[in-house]
Structure 1
Amino acid sequence: MLMFPQFRGDSTDFNNLAQKDDTASSDWLGPVSYAAAVRRAAPSVVNIYTRKLRREKTHPLLNDPFIRRFFNYQQQRLQSSLGSGIIVRDDGFIMTNNHVVANVDEIVVLLYDGRDVPAKIVGTDPDTDLAILKIDVDQLQPISIGDAMDAKIGDVVLAIGNPYGLGQAVTQGIISATGRNGLGLNTFENFIQTDADINPGNSGGALVDVYGNLLGINTAKLDRSGAAGMSFAIPVNEAQKVLNDIIQYGRVIRGWLGMDATPLNQDLARHFNTSTTRGLLVNGVFNTGPAQKAGIRPGDIVIGINGTAVTDRHSSASQIADVMPGQPIKLEILRGIETFTLTAIAGTRPVIAQ
C-alpha cells in the first residue's frame, strides 16, 4: 500500500458548518439533493473519443501484396479510447488530461446537447498531465470556475464524466485531503484527494463543489489493495495557469534553477555532520545556470526557498516552477556549519521530451 507522509490539509470547524450559507447542507436537517449543481455543471462536461492507427509487426511472407489481399490482412489496426473534458471558455477551449489525447490521430468531442464535433490539440503539458483542446462551434456553456484554495477537507464534491463510455454520469464524495504529492503520477503534483469514484473514461472530467463550480480536473484513481476510495484531481487554479500559458505562449512557462538535488535523510545528514534532516542536498549545478550564477555549489544543502522551509522535494520543485523567469528566488543555504542566504534569478525551465 502506498504511504503518504506529506499529508496536509485544513482542519474543519464543525461549529461553523451550519452557519455557512450552503443550500446543500440544509442546516443538518437530513438528506439533500445536488441536482441544481449537476444541472449547472453538466452541460460543460464533454465526452472525448479518440482513435489512433497502430502499425503491427508482420511476418515477411505478409509483405507479398497477393497474400495480404488473399487473407484480407491489414498492417494497421484502429485503436479507440475514451475520456472526458471540460468546456472552460465559450470560444471552444476544452481542458482534459494529456494521457487522454496523447499520440492519437483523431479526436471527437460529444457535447451535452448531442452534437459531435472534431477537436484539435492546442497544446499539452505532460508535467501536469493536462491538455488543451479547441472546437469550432457556437452555443457552448463554459463551466463556472471555482477556487481550489477554498476547498476544505470534508467538503462534498461531485465528479462528472464519461465512465466506461456509457455516457455522462455523476459520483459523489468528499474531499479527503489536499496538497497530495509524491504519488509518481506527474512531475508536478498538488492533488485534491477525494473518495468520489473516478472510473476509466472519467479522466479529464470535472470535480465540482455543491454549487457546480469547478474545483479540479479528475485525473487518476489508485486501484491497489487497500486503496479503495482514493481518487485524485488537479486543482483548477493550476489548470488555469496551464490554459493561459498554452494559449499565450504555446507551452507552460515555469521557473528553473538548474541544479540536481536529493532530499536529505538521516544517513546523508550523518555523513555531512548536520543535525537537520530536512532539506535538499545539491548534487550538481548546470554550467552557467541560475544556481551556479548565484553561488550554489555541490554539497550545499538548501533548507529554505523564499522564506519557506523545505519539507519535501515535490513541494520545493513546484515552488520553484511557480516563479516566473527573471524573478528572484531567495535560497537559505547550509554549507558546513554556516547558514546564509543566496539570491538566484529564475531561468526558464527547458522543455523535456516525454
Structure 2
Amino acid sequence: MTEPAASILSSLSSALAEIVARAKPTIVSVHSHRSRASGFVWKSGLIVTADEGLAEEGEVSIRFSDGTDRPATIAGRDHTTDIALLRADTATSTPIVLSSAIPDLGSLSVVVAAEQGVTTAALGMVSLSGGRWRSMRGGEIDARIELDIRLRRHHEGGLVLNAAGEAIGMAVQGVRRILVIPGATIARVAARLETHGRIARGYLGLGLQPVELDDDIGAMVMSVDRTGPSAAAGIQQGDIIVGWNNEKLSGVRSLLRSLGPDSVGSVVDVTIRRGGAPVQIKLTIGERAEA
C-alpha cells in the first residue's frame, strides 16, 4: 500500500530535524572586526571557519549554541582554499567528524550555520558535483561541489551535511553560487595550519607569459625577482621555458600547479631556450612569502 504523501513529508521533516539537532553542538558564530561568519569545532580547542568571513585584524570571539562567548586566536589561515583555523576553549562542544564522501548530483544537502550564536539550517540540492579543481587564488580543492541554496553572508563557514547526516564540508560564498569546501580538503589544509600556521607555496620569482612556438608551448620570462630562486639559478628575462623535469611544458598553468606545498625545497630540471639554443638549468624551488 502506498504511504500517504503527508506521512512521507512528516518522516522527511523529522529526519532533517534530527540531522540538524545532531550537528547543533558543534556549530559556532565567529565574530571579528566588523565581520560575522559561522564555523564548527573541528578538534578539541580548534575551530574551522571561512577565511573570507574573517577580518584581517582585530580581536576574534566565538559564540556557542548555548550563548557562551569565548575569545579566540587565529591558528592559521589559507586564502587559497578559504579555510581558517581558530584556537578557543571548546570544552562544552563536540568536535565534528568530517567525511570525505562526495555527494551525488541532485542529492539533498543541509547547511547548518549560526547567527549570533543561534543555530540556523537551510535545505538545498547539489547542483554540481565534479572533480578536483584549483581556486582563482591557486588552492587545490578536492572536488567541485555547488549547492542550489540561498545563504546569508554570515552563514559562510557553516557545516554542510548530506542526507545521511555526514559532515561533507564547509559552505562558502562563490561567484553567484554557494560552494562546498570538501571534508578531504579541510582535513588536509587544517592539519597543516595546526602544525605550521600557514600553507607553504612554491616560488620561482618569475613573471611568465605563455607563448606558442613552432613545435612547442613555452612560457616566456617577462620579469625576474633578483633575490628569487630563478635568478640564483641563472634564468634571465627573455628566456623561454619549454621543459620541466624532462617533460615538455604543457602551459603556464600546469607549471604553476606544480608549485604546491610539497614543492618547496625540491630541485627541478628546467629546459629553456635562450637565443634559440637549448639550455638546461637546475632550480631549487623557494617558498612564497606570506602576503
Q: Mark yes or no: TM-score above 0.5.
A: yes
Q: How many residues are treated as equivalent by the alignment? A: 274
The structural deviation recorded for 1:48 is: 1.9
Q: Distance in 2 between matches of 1:49 and 1:105?
A: 10
Q: Distance in 1 between matches of 2:195 and 2:180?
A: 24
Q: Distance in 2 between matches of 1:38 and 1:285?
A: 53
RMSD: 3.7
1:274 and 2:221 matched: no
Q: Distance in 2 between matches of 1:175 and 1:335?
A: 48
Q: Distance in 2 between matches of 1:155 and 1:311?
A: 35
DSSP-derived class of the 2:193 partner: helix
Check conservation: 2:65, 2:117, Cα contact below 8 A: no
The structural deviation recorded for 1:40 is: 4.2
Ranges in structure 1 where 5+ consecutive residues have no aligned partner: 1-30, 53-79, 224-229
Check conservation: 1:325, 1:348, Cα contact below 8 A: yes
1:248 and 2:195 matched: yes
Deviations 1:333-354 (A, max 9, x none): 56687778755332222122xx
The structural deviation recorded for 1:89 is: 0.4
Give the counterpart of 1:154 among 87, 97, 105. 105
Counterpart code for 1:162: A
1:88 and 2:88 matched: no
Give the counterpart of 2:86 among 133, 153, 160. 133
Q: Distance in 2 between matches of 1:308 and 1:164?
A: 54
2:286 aligns to what?
347
Cα distance change, pair 332–310 in 1 and its aligned pair in 2 (3 A): farther
Check conservation: 1:119, 1:135, Cα contact below 8 A: yes
1:300 aligns to what?
240
The structural deviation recorded for 1:44 is: 2.1
DSSP-derived class of the 1:222 partner: coil
Ranges in structure 2 where 5+ consecutive residues have no aligned partner: 1-10
1:195 aligns to what?
147
Deviations 1:135-171 (A, max 9, x none): 1241321111222xx5366273433223698742133
1:321 aligns to what?
260
Q: Distance in 1 between matches of 2:52 and 2:147?
A: 22
Q: Distance in 2 between matches of 1:143 and 1:202?
A: 17
Q: Distance in 2 between matches of 1:127 and 1:348?
A: 15
More strand by share: 2
Q: Distance in 1 between matches of 2:250 and 2:22?
A: 41
Q: Distance in 2 between matches of 1:118 and 1:306?
A: 52
Cα distance change, pair 106–284 in 1 and its aligned pair in 2 (3 A): closer
* Residues 150-159 or 99-108, more deviating: 150-159
DSSP-derived class of the 1:119 partner: strand
The structural deviation recorded for 1:94 is: 0.7
Check conservation: 1:152, 1:175, Cα contact below 8 A: no
Q: Distance in 2 between matches of 1:261 and 1:162?
A: 43
Check conservation: 1:254, 1:325, Cα contact below 8 A: yes
Q: Distance in 1 between matches of 2:20 and 2:189?
A: 25
The structural deviation recorded for 1:231 is: 1.8
The structural deviation recorded for 1:109 is: 1.8
Counting aligned pairs with the same residue, the percent is 24
1:122 and 2:69 matched: no
Q: Distance in 1 between matches of 2:19 and 2:249?
A: 39
Cα distance change, pair 309–162 in 1 and its aligned pair in 2 (3 A): farther
Check conservation: 2:28, 2:117, Cα contact below 8 A: no
DSSP-derived class of the 2:43 partner: coil
Counterpart code for 2:110: L
DSSP-derived class of the 1:232 partner: strand
Counterpart code for 1:43: P
1:284 aligns to what?
223
Q: TM-score, normalised by structure 2?
A: 0.74
The structural deviation recorded for 1:47 is: 1.8
1:205 aligns to what?
158
Check conservation: 1:164, 1:201, Cα contact below 8 A: no
Deviations 1:19-50 (A, max 9, x none): xxxxxxxxxxxx96555654444432212233
